Amino acid sequence: MGLNCLGNIIKLTTFGESHGKAIGGVIDGLPAKMEVDFDLINAEIERRKGGKYFFETQRKEKEAVEFISGICNGLTLGTPVAFIVRNVDTASKDYENLANIYRPSHADFSWQMKYGIRDYRGGGRASARETLTWVIAGAFAKMVLKNYKINITAFVSQIGEVSLGKTYAEFNLSKIISSPLYCPDKIAEKEMLALLKKIAKEGDSVGGIITCVVKNCPVGLGEPVFGKLQAQLAAAMLSINAVKGFEYGSGFKASAMKGSKHNDEFINKNGRIGTATNNSGGIQGGISNGEDIYFSVAFKPVASITKNQDTVDIKGKSAHIAIKGRHDVCPVPRAVPVVEALTALVIADNVMMSGIYRQI
């Protein structure tokens, strides 16, 4: 299996399966002598951890990360930072009845056809368990970006049909950390929680949308042809389990607008050139322009549900399935730190590629 890496200068390589002994990663390209913020790493891990609310998986891993190289006396050495997290709460027996059955909308069939073998225990490497390694690496990327005061904030903007209906600029995003859904609107949050309770009782699942905002990004990140910044962000986001769509700036709404309304006119903003509007989403010609970068990521409903479903076994014979195990009712809230982590990795990688990295 190839393509287990993300990045060019700051490169993350990950390994491990959902129910294997451990998962882990190697982060190469980090600058030397960078102070490692272990509190930040643990806080990011905690944000992604399940079992805190009724709509999350009740798999309760300790999530104790062990660093085995690249750090000395709390500072990065400039050598690869390697880490592992041991799996301790796997409950693999919940998946024994799935060894010869293809679960609807899972990777079971396609992986079996491609490799001739698959790890049916929790989905193996196709599991969202993989995203923990991204969150850990993303914390290091945030440490790099701290030197530029680049801030990344993701939040839940929709669950099911319950949507905020406002732009990110109309909310105080600093308050989302106190929300179980990472939602900046208390009224919408209440409606979302009610919907999640209803869906959970039905044994079903639901999807939603995460919006992410990058502030204080310098001008000049990204490449003009195949390395467009929005393309790099899209590739990272579409690598997240359950993601079905990505849009940045005005997104699909742009298709119904006139150029005279959509164009971002340039103005003088207190001595610097900026734009009066930001339909471009902070990226023009594939390169950051200094305005806020913002985009949205759409997630489908979790495929593992307890409702009875029709499928086939590995011999093509008809079968029925009601999936056991511990699964999220909605993947969106726990994916917020994942979106932030991948965004941080992409932006930090581009900072390093631009050659403007500095240590403060």
Tell me, what's the pLDDT at 60? 67
Min mean pLDDT across 126-130, 134-138, 209-213 is at 126-130
Give me the percent of the chain exceeding a pLDDT of 90.
76
Domain ranges (residues) in the chain: 5-354
Tell me, what's the pLDDT at 325? 63
Residue 80 DSSP label = -
Write the CA distances from 43 to 130, 154, 278, 343, integer angstroms. 18, 15, 32, 17
Which whole number is the average pLDDT over 93-119? 86
Question: 63 falls in which pLDDT band (50, 70, 90)?
Answer: confident
Tell me, what's the pLDDT at 130? 93
Does 3.40.50.2000 match the CATH number of domain 5-354? no
Average pLDDT score, the chain:
92
Tell me, what's the pLDDT at 57? 72
Q: Is the pLDDT of residue 120 over 70?
A: yes
Which whole number is the average pLDDT over 283-298? 98
Tell me, what's the pLDDT at 214? 98
Task: Round to the nearest angstrom and report the end-to-end CA distance of the chain.
Answer: 40
Q: Is the pLDDT of residue 95 over 90?
A: no
Which whole number is the average pLDDT over 95-112? 86
pTM for this entry? 0.94
DSSP output for 131-189: HHHHHHHHHHHHHHHHTTT-EEEEEEEEETTEE--S-GGGS-GGGGGGSTT--S-HHHH
Q: Going by C-beta distance under 8 Å and a sequence separation of 6 or more, which residues neighbour residue 41? A: 65, 136, 139, 140
Which whole number is the average pLDDT over 304-324? 88
Which whole number is the average pLDDT over 200-216? 95
Tell me, what's the pLDDT at 179? 94
Tell me, what's the pLDDT at 98? 79
Q: Is the pLDDT of residue 333 over 70?
A: yes
Per-residue model confidence as pLDDT tens digits over 23-51: 999 999 999 999 999 999 999 999 998 77
Per-residue model confidence as pLDDT tens digits over 222-281: 999 999 999 999 999 999 999 999 999 999 999 999 999 999 999 999 999 999 999 999
Question: 360 falls in which pLDDT band (50, 70, 90)?
Answer: very low
Give me the percent of the chain exceeding a pLDDT of 70.
95
Q: Which of the two residues, 212 and 124, has the higher pLDDT score?
A: 212
Closest-CA residue to 39 (of 131, 128, 143, 134): 143
Amino acid at 17: E
